[in-house]
Amino acid sequence: MTILDGKALSEELVDSVKDKAEKLSPTLAVILVGENPASMAYVRNKKKACERAGIEYIQHDFEATITQEDLLKKIDDINQDPNVNGLIVQLPLPDHIYVPDVIRSVDPSKDVDGFHAYNIGKMFLSPEFEDLPPATPLGIVKLLDHYDIPIRGKEVVVVGHSNIVGKPISMMMLNRDATVTTCHIHTKDLSAHTKRADILIVAVGKINLITADMVKDGVVVVDVGMNRNDDGKLCGDVDFENVSKKASYITPVPGGVGPMTVAALILNTVRATERQKASQ
């Protein structure tokens, strides 16, 4: 069994864009609303990765009470600012803010999270049109590619159908000629599907949802889940201790998909900057 080391690969990928970043001088703006501790930790990691890559990082902090109107105005200002190449609005947002309005208001050419309908829609065409794909799915694809794990013709089972992970990773696997099954809360017999998986990608947010009896020998497991157990320890959706005994490859949590998401954001920021400068 091989551990898919997202931490090491993410550092390699971030380092690999340093030369381009030096030439392009990209700037990433991050909007953080409120003081959600997980969000604060995520943006700290993004800042660190930007510093490592040589990308300028600007953070805009707002009180949780900011109105939607004021937030959209700030996003519009950043959209108009020619010195900013990438924009992330850290999710989740307070309940009084309607997230689809926020996602739609980000300029698609600066949408390095890859959440805008324009960027999601382009992904449906073919891998060549995955210009700014959602960061977590892009990170997963980079991880599988790095370890030379074949995707074409494989049974890929995705558990979770969120707009930011489950649906786009399903599409990216289909773009790479896998046979894809996407499961969710209404799936009748989850383990009947997971047992068939050559590659199992789990993005739900439930500790130990996937147990060893639900996978076949040799499966490749990508655990996207980020949960805290009763002791406050970070863990995924997969029972790592027992599933890893049957897996050929498996991501750890932490140190798997999390750092790859940050690396993908860096890749998207450089990509967005290149495309903007090329069209000037």
| Neighbouring residues of 82: CB distance < 8 A, sequence distance ≥ 6 | none
Binding flags for ligand NAP, 213-252, as an x/- string (CB under 6 A): -----------xxxx-------------------------
Smaller CB separation from ligand NAP, 84 or 135: 135
> Which one-letter amino acid corresponds to residue 176?
R
- Considering only residues 49 through 108, tell me which ones interact with ligand NAP, judged by CB under 6 A: none
Smaller CB separation from ligand NAP, 57 or 115: 115
- Cα distances (angstroms) measured from residue 235 to each of 144, 204, 252: 21, 12, 8
Q: Which two tokens stand for residue 173?
A: 């696997």
Which one of the listed residues 5, 46, 107, 154 is annotated catalytic? 46
**Rounded CA Rg of the chain:** 19
- Considering only residues 110 through 169, tell me which ones interact with ligand NAP, judged by CB under 6 A: 136, 159-162, 164-166
- Least spacing, CB of residue 238 vs ligand NAP, in Å: 11
- Residue 251 forms beta bridges with which residues? none
Q: Is 90 designated active site?
A: yes
Which one of the listed residues 5, 74, 90, 122 is annotated catalytic? 90
- Least spacing, CB of residue 120 vs ligand NAP, in Å: 14
Cα separation, 137 vs 49, whole angstroms: 18
Which one of the listed residues 5, 107, 111, 113 is annotated catalytic? 113
- Considering only residues 162 through 201, tell me which ones interact with ligand NAP, judged by CB under 6 A: 162, 164-166, 183-185, 187, 190
The C-alpha angle 207, 178, 258, rounded to 5 degrees, equals 35
- Least spacing, CB of residue 90 vs ligand NAP, in Å: 12
- Least spacing, CB of residue 19 vs ligand NAP, in Å: 26
Residues binding ligand NAP: number (CB under 6 A): 25
Smaller CB separation from ligand NAP, 86 or 225: 225
What order do you get walking across the sheet with 2-3 strand by strand?
A: 2-3, 249-250, 220-223, 199-202, 155-159, 179-183
Is 2:248 a contact under the CB 8 Å cutoff? yes
Smaller CB separation from ligand NAP, 36 or 79: 36
- Least spacing, CB of residue 45 vs ligand NAP, in Å: 10
Smaller CB separation from ligand NAP, 26 or 256: 256
- Considering only residues 199 through 218, tell me which ones interact with ligand NAP, judged by CB under 6 A: 203-206, 209
- Least spacing, CB of residue 190 vs ligand NAP, in Å: 6
Residues lying near ligand NAP in the complex (CB under 6 A) are found at 136, 159-162, 164-166, 183-185, 187, 190, 203-206, 209, 224-227, 257-258, 261
Q: Which residues are annotated as catalytic?
A: 46, 90, 113
